[in-house]
Amino acid sequence: MALILLALTALGDFLFWQYQPGLSLALFAFVVFAAVLLCSPPQSARNATRPALLLLASALPVIEHYQALSTLFLGLGTLMAVSWLRQEPDTPLLDLLSATGKLAKSLPLGGIRNFLALLRSRGDSSGPQRALLLQALRNWGFPLGGTFLLLSLLVEANPVLEQQLAGLMELDFDLATLIRRFLFWIGLALVISPVLTGPHPAKATPQKAEDTPEAVDGTAKPAAGRKSWLGLNPGSVLRALVVFNLIMALQTGMDLSILIGGATLPEGITLAEYAHRGAYPLLVTAMLAGAFALAARPFLKSHKALKPLVLIWLAQNALLGVTAYMRLDLYVESFGLTYLRVHSMIWMALVIAGLLLTAWQILRARSNLWLLLRCAALGTATLYAACFVNFAGLIAYQNLTRENPNQIDWYYICTLGPMAAKSVQLAQEERPENHPPSGYANCWPDMNDLLAKQNWREWGFRSWRLRAYAAPQTTTKAPGHEDPAGR
């Protein structure tokens, strides 16, 4: 089984890595079906004919044209064909659909559960050395996997760290690409594994021995009745927090030394590139940090060091969110403001606030419902407040009052619409040298003309205010001032 899984993963790498999906999806589905047929052959060849025909029919749309709908048909058809192989010939349709649903539900976490169940099932019957190895896997499996994920995000965000790690290894390769490819293999294997083994609810039931507390290297004991989930237990959480905090301290120190301390960047890396690469991956890292803190919370009473480590972890990720905001601000200073960048700044502030709320929840021993309600209220209040902000005007004013007029994206400002007209006029009064080039002068139509064509049912307070501002401007405008070419 392990060799088949490895072969299918290698085939998936050959078919999909750095290639657009197409015929490769159908070929991979056929090979997976053949592998399942090899691992669990039906009682007769006739039992495999109908599932094979179903798979062929579901693959025809993706062979015709790759799109989301055809991919959905192929995925569902593959799951149903594989489930059909494991059923009796006269299985009712509802039972077949139920089996398909169970198989789909097991993706992709079924592979992790199968691996952990294998470790648990062999732990009692093995010798002391094997038991020690299994205990080490339980305690270090999640920390090592999380370290790979965290490093991949930080390497993607930090070209300086990427160069330093590559220099330490003295190897000429793209470390970020290597880590992404490794994660691709892991993800593909997690998806394939449940399809090969199939859902086995009876076998997946935990043994009663797991409900009893067991020592974790003499450092922590799980709470009574607490079961490990996705490799999380007091020992693995403790080790993960220590390793994650060390890695995060390195990243934060490098960021602060460059953004505040004025440290020089390596040759070939500009400050704009450094800022752009890091803003969004660091935001994803901070969000995952909050999720890990919530997952680790049930184990905090198992060891006295866990609670302080979680609080340090949350504080470091809140600081990481601040440095991500500083990076994005540097990028905006160089290339201007856009809707996406404004939304990203707001989202960063919400993530930082959510991390601080999570820390307060842990300190005050509040429930997850307490945290959920306050995060929902914070998000709702932010969205409500955003309804009263003229983002088009904000973006136009910020971009037109920058120091370098040669870097103004007039086409983007032109697409902001009439709500940016007031800000454009204010910015031109403040910086007359930043006047629109030929062909862009009429991008912002006269608000009086627009509102004169509106019915009272279309009235809006913001457009009314813009009209009130535009009224004195239009009364003093000389005739023929506008460029008739327009845009």
Amino acid identity at 161: L
How many residues are listed for the chain in this entry? 487
Mean pLDDT of 363-370: 88
pLDDT value of position 47: 74
- Over residues 368-423, the pLDDT tens digits come to 889 889 999 999 999 888 888 888 888 988 888 876 666 788 888 888 877 777 78
Q: What is the pTM of this model?
A: 0.56
Lowest mean pLDDT, pick from 201-205, 422-426, 450-454: 201-205
**What share of the chain in percent tops pLDDT 90?**
6
Mean pLDDT of 162-167: 68
pLDDT at 16 over 80: yes
pLDDT value of position 196: 78
pLDDT value of position 127: 53
* Residue of 423, 379, 373, 416 whose CA lies nearest to 401: 423
- Over residues 317-341, the pLDDT tens digits come to 899 888 888 888 888 887 888 888 8
Does residue 135 contact residue 233 with C-beta atoms inside 8 Å? no
* Residue of 371, 328, 373, 370 whose CA lies nearest to 347: 328
Which residue did the predictor score with more confidence, 283 or 44? 283
Within 10 A of 164 (CB to CB), how many other CB atoms are there?
16
- Over residues 31-89, the pLDDT tens digits come to 988 888 887 766 555 677 888 888 899 888 888 888 887 888 888 888 888 888 877 76
Mean pLDDT of 450-479: 51
Cis status of the peptide bond prior to 128, with omega within 30 of 0:
no
Which residue did the predictor score with more confidence, 242 or 483? 242
Greatest mean pLDDT range, 8-12, 14-18, 176-180, 359-363: 359-363
pLDDT value of position 459: 53
* Residue of 118, 131, 143, 97 whose CA lies nearest to 5: 118
Q: Residue 357: which pLDDT band, with cuts at 50, 70 and 90?
A: very high
Distances (CA, A) of 198 to 46, 91, 334, 354, 438: 21, 17, 53, 38, 66
